[in-house]
Amino acid sequence: GQQVMQIPQYQHVQEGEDFTTYCNSSTTLSNIQWYKQRPGGHPVFLIQLVKSGEVKKQKRLTFQFGEAKKNSSLHITATQTTDVGTYFCALPNAGGTSYGKLTFGQGTILTVHP
Amino acid sequence: DAGVTQSPTHLIKTRGQHVTLRCSPISGHKSVSWYQQVLGQGPQFIFQYYEKEERGRGNFPDRFSARQFPNYSSELNVNALLLGDSALYLCASSYGPTGELFFGEGSRLTVL
């Protein structure tokens, strides 16, 4: 079945430092989504990437989809305390049944020290 | 506009009991999915319903069942609760069968 690896599991940074989380799939993807979950909260959609090599920016967040569409990254420039939370990549179902199913990565827990 | 609403927000049950969790999707959304999130892990897919039909089922035992009503709200039922069923149960809605998911706050179930 489809497997996803997300690294690192934890990242502790000082406020102002950069942060990157990586997501790798065992299969070629049609697209990939990223979600953020604040402590005690629920996942919130950040972005969907569709095209090979795609790079999208949202203020200090940069999302990248690999050329082979098997990996993706999320980079935060100059972290702030509001960036604290767990960042998940989510992969669409590889095929067959469960058309709308998303497979979530294990998540990267980001803590930011002021 | 109201987001995805779930009830109850917290509940405590004992082993062997049954639980029903409820979800109201965003108005106009026709797809409802259920996910289980155990502490420290990513959400795991349980079910998807689209246009009142089951469109997907994750790797969960038959003790888990769900349905979607004509108004697109949904229920998740879990029978014969086990300690390992303790988790945050998330409901997510979307307009179509795929795409961006809008999650509710979740129902936190504790099984004693």
Domain residue limits, chain A? 4-113
Residue A111 CB: number of other CB atoms within 10 A? 14
Q: Is the pLDDT of residue B95 over 90?
A: no
Q: Structurally, how many domains does chain B consist of?
A: 1
Closest residue in B to A89 (Cα) is: B42
Residues 6+ apart with CB under 8 A from A103: A2, A4, A90, A91, A92, A93, B45
Q: Is the pLDDT of residue B100 over 70?
A: yes
Nearest CB to B98; choose among A43, A92, A105: A92
> Rounded mean pLDDT of B26-43?
95
Q: Does B48 touch chain A (CB under 8 A)?
A: yes
Q: What is the pLDDT of residue A98?
A: 54
Q: What is the dihedral of CA B30, A107, A98, B4, to 10 degrees?
A: -20
Q: Which CATH architecture has domain A4-113?
A: Sandwich (2.60)
Tens of pLDDT along chain A (114 residues) come to 678 999 999 999 999 999 999 999 999 999 999 999 999 999 999 999 999 999 999 999 999 999 999 999 999 999 999 999 999 999 987 665 556 789 999 999 999 999
Range of the domain at B69: 5-111
**Cβ contacts of A103 on chain B, cutoff 8 Å:** 45
